Structure 1
């Protein structure tokens, strides 16, 4: 038996094993505690201006499989009562039955069902989004922002994503005018590896 061949095969096997370990799927918790994660929305007001807001309280995680992106997963739970449009009376109205009806439907959720890589740093994330008791498929256009070690000994990965939702699809039919039937969603998340 040729010692050189055995050694070469052993080294190659070890490298493949290490490569597989490095590429293994990792779970990341969204850094909401450090305010490095945001869910924001934008909708036209009467067709004259834009109303901007966000949800202050949510939690979620994602599993990132860098070698096989299609095997990655995302799930998020939003406290809908945390809606914040920078106007107390309007937020009270948004929490009521005309809009989110948070007393009956306090949570909104997103659970991914399919992830398709579309470029070096882009993907389409399709999942079931539940709001006001209605579940519909929604697709997010996601962009990888970056990842690496943080100053506290952890490891982070960051993404942003956008989508649009038609309010009537989720049982919100309050008449805001034809320019206000669709809301733009912007998401920015930084996850800490668990």
Structure 2
């Protein structure tokens, strides 16, 4: 294949996260609104250009009170910083279909370099002849690196919300004409 533009298929993609709660369990959530600009050769992602944007107000943990707290100034402050963005800067092949994608992650007014493990899941044509590709990505970020430091101490020791956020993406894209 050659480098092509790919349109994100949001109906077949997801952006999920999890974080430790009370040091004894994990809370999972998703972002329902996101977009991407992808220029890539799926058979060799090392030359890809990837920009990804998440609308933070679309956070969904299946609990309205928690979601509203996450949107507030204690966490995302969506009125002042409505999006989280990622722009790739370096992509290194680790195995046949696995890559380390490093880039600049901007959240809550701060930008840090983060690396995610990305797997090319394959390609195929849909029933209408459109070429589709699939990718999965996972990684971890520390929310305190982005100034998201709200927390509450627990009577038994420890804190209410963990610092490390696990991120998991499932992405499907369609080759643009």
TM-score normalised over the length of structure 2: 0.92
Larger relative strand fraction: 2
Give, in whole Å, the separation in 2 of the partners of 1:25 and 1:156: 14
Residues 42, 133 of structure 2: 8 Å contact kept:
no
User: 5+ unaligned residues in a row in structure 2: which ranges?
Assistant: 153-158
Deviations 1:79-132 (A, max 9, x none): 100000000011000000110000000011111001111111100000111111
Structure having the higher Rg: 1
Specify which structure has the bigger relative contact order, considering alpha-carbon pairs within 8 angstroms and separated by 6 or more residues: 2
- Identify, as 1 or 2, the structure richer in helix: 1
Distance in 2 separating the partners of 1:82 and 1:56: 5
State whether residues 126 and 139 of structure 1, in contact with CA within 8 Å, keep that contact through their aligned partners in structure 2.
yes
Q: 1:180 aligns with which of 142, 155, 162?
A: 162
Match of 1:104 in 2: 80
TM-score by length of 1: 0.84
Matches within 5 A, 1:36-51: 36-51=12-27
The answer for unaligned runs of 5 or more in structure 1 is: 1-22
CA contact (8 A) 1:111 1:129 kept: yes
Tell me how large the CA RMSD over aligned residues is: 1.4
Q: How many residues align?
A: 170
Question: Is residue 120 of structure 2 the alignment partner of residue 144 of structure 1?
Answer: yes
